[in-house]
Amino acid sequence: MELTLGFSPCPNDTFIFDALIHHKIDTEGLTFDVSYDDVETLNQKAFHGDLDITKLSYHAFAYVADQYVLLDSGSALGFGVGPMLICKGDPEKLREELSKPGTQLKIGIPGKYTTANFLLGLAFPNALNKEELVFSDIENAVLEGRVDVGLIIHENRFTYQDKGLKKIIDLGDFWEKETGLAIPLGGIVANRSLPIDIQHKINRVLRRSVEYAFANPKSGLEFIRSHAQEMSEEVMYKHIDLYVNTYSVELGDEGKKAIKLLFDTAIEKNVIPEIKEELFLTGI
């Protein structure tokens, strides 16, 4: 059975999916037609129900929970992994300005429905002047003055200082101090229209792929490198270490608690609509 699958070209995703799409593990008869897209494009595809299986932001998942169910494997949650607000000027001054009602500071964001933008809204509810950019262009937009502040994700947290940019706030750290829980960034979901036995099969195969990657971390090196946009091997594996962990194998009670709190907080603040469906794949 062939299924459509979407994930990003970022090292954490290619690390997780390498064994699955290259059949280094038993895929139980499943094959995959793969699309590689940035997270906001994946979010938009999920809104249209385009894919059988996809990576997406947890923020976006809230809007498609009626169409997709969250798999127990493949998620990116963790401590010290959150999006960061960066600038070229004085971080303290800009942080104060972002907190003021009516602030007009322009913020480059990696997408309206990213978890990064959701966290930005929690930390700075007055900061509403936003411009959506491809995540890899945000640093340059700040450097060139096209935006006043940039909201960065992924490997850019390792490169912004090399370009002379400064941190205003780590929004993951903000969440952790507020809740004491890991920050949920992205998850892997399966279309609810798929038979439940296929949903469970996908989850088993995905878990097997993550476990294979942990046991053979260099196995997918060439595949990871081929999508890593001139990233050094050191930065690639820093990125992987940051976003792939025990929560990627299985969410567990703590992971589910963090996701539930994220959604409950967002519903309470009218950031997302109320969700009636069961979020998590059951019967595992």
Quote the crossing angle between the two packed helices 171-179 and 115-123, to the nearest 10°: 70
> pLDDT band for position 128 (50/70/90)?
very high
Please report the pLDDT score of residue 3 as a whole number. 98
pLDDT confidence of residue 84: 94
Classify the phi-psi angles of 25: left when phi > 0, otherwise alpha if psi is within -120 to 50, otherwise beta. Answer: beta
Q: What is residue 282's DSSP assignment?
A: P
For residue 169, CA distances in Å to 58, 80, 221 come to 21, 12, 32
What is the predicted pLDDT for the residue at 235? 85
Residue 136 confidence class, pLDDT cut points 50, 70, 90: confident
* Pair 42, 6: CB distance under 8 Å: yes
- From residue 4, alpha-carbon distances to 54, 122, 178, 252 in Å are 8, 34, 38, 27
Catalytically annotated residues: 154
Instruction: Report DSSP state, residue 126.
Output: T
Instruction: Name which of 15, 7, 1, 2 is nearest 249 in CA terms.
Output: 15
What's the pLDDT band for 273 if we cut at 50, 70, 90? confident
**What pLDDT, in 10s, does the model give residues 7-52?**
999 999 999 999 999 999 999 999 999 999 988 899 999 999 999 9
Q: Which CATH architecture has domain 84-179?
A: 3-Layer(aba) Sandwich (3.40)
CB-based contacts of 237, cutoff 8 Å, min separation 6? 11, 217
Secondary structure (DSSP) of 58-120? HHHHHHHTTTEEE-SSS-EEESS---EEEESS-HHHHHHHHHSTT----EEES-TTSHHHHHH
The domains of the chain are located at 2-78+184-268, 84-179
Report pLDDT digits (tens) over 67-112: 999 999 999 998 877 899 999 999 999 999 999 999 999 999 988 8
Question: Residue 92: phi, psi to the nearest 5?
Answer: -65, -45
For 141-191, write each residue's pLDDT tens digit.
999 999 999 999 877 777 889 899 999 999 988 999 989 999 998 999 999
pTM of the model: 0.85
Superfamily of domain 2-78+184-268: Periplasmic binding protein-like II (3.40.190.10)
**2-78+184-268 and 84-179 share one CATH topology?**
yes
pLDDT one-digit tens code per residue, 191-232: 999 999 999 999 999 999 999 999 999 999 999 999 987 778
Residue 103 corresponds to which tokens in the numbers above? 């602030």
Q: What is the pLDDT of residue 232?
A: 86
Q: What confidence tier does 118 reach under pLDDT thresholds 50, 70, 90?
A: confident
